[in-house]
A and B are shown apart, each in its own frame.
Chain A
Amino acid sequence: MTIRPAHRVAGRLAVAAALVFTLAAPLPALAQDGACAATETMRGGRNNYVAGAPMVENLGTGFIVSGTVRHAGTCAPIPNVRVQIWTATERGGEREPSNRGSVMTDAEGRYRLETSPVVPQFGQPHIHIAYEDPGYGTLFLRPVLGSRNDTSIEVDFILAPSTDGAGS
């Protein structure tokens, strides 16, 4: 049986497609590794930041900010790092000193801070989270609540070891 040119072309196309698929197959896997890529700073994340928020027990009651901090690449939880949080509440805006504070992550890399209910500032109910210490790259987040009536928000993020090599 002779193969007609048209079939030959189709055959080549099939081979090419197969090749592309085999080469491309690992790509989704790579993208999955990307799940532990370092979290990027959000637009406006740094707004109204005042460095060195004091360690606090809480910033009021009624709203819970929590999450897990992980290490870029390895996905390992990072214990004992400082997470700074600030938000607008009934006591005032994001610059109100009683609306900002720091907590440390526990052995499992988890942090948790209770605050007064979040009040929309600049037209959106949101909070701010910062990591700005040696060891890992600086990160500023600005997660938005689903609704101003929410009573909690969970924000997990991934830190990249800073290039000075101090990161664990």
Chain B
Amino acid sequence: MLRIVLVTTVAVVPVAIAAASPLLAGRDAVWVAGGFAGIVALSLLFVQPLLASGALPGPQRLGWHRLVGAVAVALAVGHVIGLYLYSPDDIMDALLLESPTPFSVYGVAGLVLLMVVALLGGLVRAVPRPVVARRVHSLVGLAAVVCAAWHAVLIDGAMEMISKLVLCAGAVGAAAHAVVRLYRPLLARWRRRAGT
């Protein structure tokens, strides 16, 4: 129970603080919506590995993992579309990797990796060796989360710094935990082999 409260707090508080940001004053709805699609997607990326790894109490929530994954990808795409509608030049610069802002390239990389990881996730049950597919899925997922987190940390925007850092650290930690969990048996096997 405590764990669920903690996870919910880390995921929701940054979004709530950002929603109260004075920077939103006078901004078009499309800009606010585009920005918040990104913020909520980041928040979901923190919860996402926890749903898969069984770090939350109760059984593994793979049904939720699939749903949250699909929503996160949709929000990331919505984030780009929303900001494009508000300021096409800035988004085109980012997508063409010509942006003056250092965080844009991490955003684009995160978006691409997120699509790849969703595709891999969808294929896990369709391939002969789901365990291997799941391991690759978790590693690419970690890379996607690192890109998204670094993208968010470098941005000076509606999110408040401390809650943003906690969320980003939580997201990277949760993804890393999922990777370790999936690779632990493999490492143990290698170690046994090295020992004999």
Residues of A near any B CB (own CB < 8 A): 42-44, 46-48, 89-96, 119-125, 142, 144, 148
Bound-state CA distance A142–B25 (Å) is 23
Q: State the 9 A-B residue pairs at the shortest beta-carbon distance, nearest first.
A: A123-B155, A47-B89, A43-B100, A44-B100, A92-B26, A120-B156, A122-B90, A91-B26, A90-B25
Could you give 12 example pairs across A and B, Cβ below 8 Å? A43-B99, A44-B90, A48-B90, A91-B26, A92-B28, A95-B87, A96-B26, A120-B23, A120-B156, A121-B87, A124-B155, A142-B100
Chain B contact residues: helix, strand, loop or mixed: loop
Number of B residues, CB within 8 Å of A: 22
Is the pair A122, B101 in contact by a Cβ cutoff of 8 Å?
yes
- Other than the known A48-B89, A122-B101, A125-B156, what 14 A-B pairs have Cβ atoms closer than 8 Å? A44-B93, A46-B89, A90-B25, A92-B26, A93-B31, A94-B87, A96-B26, A119-B23, A120-B157, A121-B87, A122-B83, A124-B155, A142-B100, A148-B156
Bound-state CA distance A148–B157 (Å) is 10
Residues of A within 8 A of B191 (CB): none
Bound-state CA distance A43–B99 (Å) is 7
Instruction: Name the interface residues of B39-95: CB closer than 8 Å to any CB of A.
Output: 83, 86-87, 89-90, 93
Residues of B near any A CB (own CB < 8 A): 22-23, 25-28, 31, 83, 86-87, 89-90, 93, 98-101, 103, 154-157
Of all chain B residues, which has the CB nearest A126? B100
Bound-state CA distance A78–B101 (Å) is 31
Is the pair A90, B93 in contact by a Cβ cutoff of 8 Å?
no
Is the pair A47, B86 in contact by a Cβ cutoff of 8 Å?
no
Is the pair B86, A93 in contact by a Cβ cutoff of 8 Å?
yes
Bound-state CA distance A121–B155 (Å) is 10
Is the pair B93, A47 in contact by a Cβ cutoff of 8 Å?
yes
Given contacts A92-B26, A120-B156, A123-B157, contact A42 B100 (CB under 8 A): yes
Bound-state CA distance A47–B26 (Å) is 19
Most chain B CB within 10 A, of A42, A89, A95, A123, is at: A123
Is the pair A93, B28 in contact by a Cβ cutoff of 8 Å?
yes
Residues of B within 8 A of A92 (CB): 26-28
Residues of A within 8 A of B103 (CB): 123
Name the distance in Å between B42's Cβ and chain A's nearest Cβ.
13
Residues of A within 8 A of B98 (CB): 43
Is the pair B101, A123 in contact by a Cβ cutoff of 8 Å?
yes
Bound-state CA distance A90–B22 (Å) is 8
Residues of A within 8 A of B156 (CB): 120, 123-125, 148
Is the pair B87, A122 in contact by a Cβ cutoff of 8 Å?
yes
Is the pair A47, B27 in contact by a Cβ cutoff of 8 Å?
no
Of all chain B residues, which has the CB nearest A45? B100
Residues of A within 8 A of B93 (CB): 43-44, 47
Residues of B within 8 A of A94 (CB): 87
Residues of A within 8 A of B25 (CB): 90
